[in-house]
Amino acid sequence: MLFKAKSNCYCAFCKSPRRIYRKKNISVMNIFASLMASVVLMFAIWQEFDPRAIIVFVICLAISEVFVQIRWRLAVVCRTCGFDPILYVKDPEAASAKVKLQLDLRKQDPKYLLAKPLNLPAISAEKSKALATKEKGRLVSRSI
């Protein structure tokens, strides 16, 4: 469990099964790998022990941290419906626009003509009426 990079989960919106990266930040293994890389680079550049290798080590750490964070951020978005949970927390309207765009693209793509339809959440008639009368977005954010 500790060393498994990916884990299974379901999309919060379309309920399709997917795999995400749990790791948000670098681990001891990444620090060790950066250390090894900086030692190798140190001997490649200066052929001896050199204090400048510390700078190389810090740069390696920064690169791996950025890489792990970008990988996590990209994997969190659902590939099927385009739902982005992090964007939803910050800006539900923007997240909904993104999902709409992705679903429109999916509708136009002939690849998905015979594919299993997505299990999208349905809104009952009274709920959509309440949505239309109440101020925008309030009911949605409360029901989810």
Residue closer to Zn ion by CB (options 34, 80) is 80
Residue closer to Zn ion by CB (options 64, 80) is 80
Minimum CB separation of residue 73 from Zn ion in Å reads: 16
Note whether 71 and 79 are within 8 A (CB): no
Burial class (CB in 10 A: 0-12, 13-18, 19+), 104: exposed
Per-residue tokens: 104? 């429109």
Minimum CB separation of residue 78 from Zn ion in Å reads: 3
Residue closer to Zn ion by CB (options 85, 131) is 85
Minimum CB separation of residue 11 from Zn ion in Å reads: 3
Sign of CA dihedral 15, 19, 23, 26: negative
Residue closer to Zn ion by CB (options 42, 78) is 78
Cα(62)–Cα(79) distance, integer angstroms: 28
Residue 9's DSSP bridge partners are: 18
Identify the residue whose tokens are 């659902």. 78
Residue closer to Zn ion by CB (options 11, 53) is 11
Kindly list the residues in this chain that would bind Zn ion in the complex (CB under 5 A): 11, 13-14, 78, 80-81, 83
Minimum CB separation of residue 9 from Zn ion in Å reads: 11
Note whether 31 and 61 are within 8 A (CB): yes
Minimum CB separation of residue 98 from Zn ion in Å reads: 11
